[in-house]
Amino acid sequence: MEKLELDINETTGKVTHLGDPLLLLNEGVLVFVQKEIEKADEMLAKRTMYSVGEEFTKESVSHAQKLFAKTVGRLMKKDMIFSMMKLGMERGWGVIKPGPFIDYDTGEGQIIVENSVIARNYGKSSTPVCYALAGILAGASEIIYGGNYFCEERACMAKGDPYCLFEFKKVSAEMKKVCMKSVGFLK
């Protein structure tokens, strides 16, 4: 197993990985925040966690694309997807693998996450709970392939499934809103 190389600047107190600034927290913090928001408004929790994953991933993927371009030249989209899966594993999201279907030309398909940090810390649920991971996959696809993507968790370890399965597809801006409504992110 590779060790994660972190740069710790003792003067500024910043921690970075591959030049991307990080905040290292206990892995249960994200789930704690999600559950606290769910107590007030479940729809708000879903939308917030998805949006957090989506927006912060766009920044990280953009940064990673620039870094990889400097070190190895232009990466093919498939290579970028595998690099992002590896990066997600290095940062503790779980074991990330291509799902039963993935089209590297369009950026549509499925991703499997075994031992998801969110599901692992959430506990039992009757519905999928990894909204931040779904947002992360949508955000990464948007940067790598361009356009709007929507990602939905189809199976979840918190429901008793053997792994979390995420399905993502390219959609119009209007269809993204329809998809968000269909899974309870919007009214």
pLDDT in tens, 10-64: 999 888 877 778 777 888 999 999 999 999 999 999 999 999 999 888 877 777 7
Q: Is residue 14 part of a domain?
A: no
Q: Which of 167, 145, 43, 153 is nearest to 99 (CA)?
A: 167
Per-residue pLDDT averaged across 82-88, rounded? 84
Q: Is residue 8 part of a domain?
A: no
Q: Is residue 55 part of a domain?
A: yes
Quickly count helices (H) and strands (E) in the chain: 6, 7
Instruction: Record the pTM.
Output: 0.86
Whether 70 shows a pLDDT value over 70: the answer reads: no
| 95, 115 contact by CB (below 8 A) | yes
Q: Is residue 187 part of a domain?
A: no
Tally the domains of the chain.
1
Per-residue pLDDT averaged across 142-147, rounded? 88
Q: 112 lies in which domain range? A: 34-182
Per-residue pLDDT averaged across 111-133, rounded? 96
Q: Exposed (0-12), middle (13-18) or buried (19+): which is 90, by Cβ within 10 Å?
A: middle
Q: Is residue 155 part of a domain?
A: yes
Task: State how far the Cα of 10 lies from the Cα of 116, in Å rounded to an integer.
Answer: 31
Confidence of residue 104 (pLDDT cuts 50, 70, 90): confident
Q: Which of 94, 152, 89 is nearest to 122 (CA)?
A: 94
Q: Is residue 1 part of a domain?
A: no
CB count within 10 Å of CB 80 equals 21
Q: Dihedral sign, CA of 123, 56, 97, 102?
A: positive
Q: Is residue 6 part of a domain?
A: no
Q: Is residue 11 part of a domain?
A: no
Task: State how far the Cα of 123 lies from the Cα of 125, in Å rounded to an integer.
Answer: 7
Whether 156 shows a pLDDT value over 60: the answer reads: yes
Confidence of residue 96 (pLDDT cuts 50, 70, 90): very high
pLDDT attached to residue 169: 93
Residue entry with tokens 């309870």:
184
Which CATH number belongs to the domain containing residue 102 in this structure?
Answer: 3.30.1380.20
Whether 78 shows a pLDDT value over 70: the answer reads: yes
Please, what is the end-to-end C-alpha distance for the chain in angstroms? Answer: 44
Whether 178 shows a pLDDT value over 80: the answer reads: yes
